[in-house]
Amino acid sequence: MISILELSKSFGNHQVLKRINLTFEPGSIYGIVGENGSGKTTLFRCIAGLESYAGTIQSPYPVLKDHTGFLPTNPEYLSRITGWEFLKLVCIARGIREEAFEEQNIFDLPLDQYADTYSTGMKKKLALMGILLQQNDLFILDEPFNGVDIHSNMIILELIRKLQSLKKTVLISSHIFATLQESCDFIYLLQDGQIAKSVAPDQFGELEAQMKSFVVGDRINRIRIG
């Protein structure tokens, strides 16, 4: 179990996360929703250990990040490195002796091409393959469905279910509510750096309706289209 206790994060005077308390169980999938700038990515980066923070993160591992696979919204690649070499690099980084990448290439990526020349969706799929090959226990997927074609989205959804069956912990953020509805055991609504709501599957529909009325409201009528 991973516990986040009183986690706060500020950039200068701007407090992005305010005393967040969350618990993540193995074999469960958690969705984090919120508007742009609500602090989702910052929360993910804090859990991954990519940002310093105030508060505590407890886990059964001596170093949580060594068991964490983080899929950023826009994965960035080193120049002049092929997809195959990127996968080799992420495996070496975790001491995994793996080279059979072609046979595990579930997204049919051109692994002999430079990764930084891939399209947005291909970059995301390569990064996802990398964190899967690392055999992590915690998966943090920041917008995994964005920019990815519909066929690959179906594969990603199935992969998330497979991770669940393997007792892995998965955190997902997505602006596509339907994908979270389909996959999550729990959804947290992040608003102004705080967890405004924790929702179980039987209340997902209600949360979506609430978000729609709160976010959309009468905004559409304010712009003069045509």
Site for other proteins contains 103 (CB under 8 A): no
- Residues in binding contact with other proteins, number by CB under 8 A: 30
First to last CA, the chain: 54
Strands 2-11 and 14-24: antiparallel
Among positions 152-181, residues that touch other proteins (CB under 8 A) are: none
Site for other proteins contains 72 (CB under 8 A): yes
3-state DSSP assignment of residue 114: strand
Q: Is the CB of 103 or the CB of 202 nearer to other proteins?
A: 103
| CA 20 – CA 175 distance, rounded (Å) | 21
Among positions 13-52, residues that touch other proteins (CB under 8 A) are: 48-50, 52
Which residue of 18, 55, 81, 181 would you call a contact of other proteins, by CB under 8 A? 81
- Least distance from other proteins to the Cβ atom of residue 130, Å: 8
Which range of residues in 90-98, 153-161, 180-188, 196-204 is near other proteins by CB under 8 A? 90-98
With DSSP H G I counted as helix, E B as strand and the rest as coil, what are the percentages for the chain, rounded to 5?
Answer: 35, 25, 35
Strands 186-191 and 194-199: antiparallel
Among positions 112-151, residues that touch other proteins (CB under 8 A) are: 112-114, 134
88 - beta bridge partners?
none
CA distances from 39 to 45, 50, 184 (A): 10, 14, 19
Q: Which residues bind other proteins (CB under 8 A)?
A: 48-50, 52, 63, 65-66, 70, 72, 76, 78-82, 84-86, 88-90, 92-95, 99, 112-114, 134
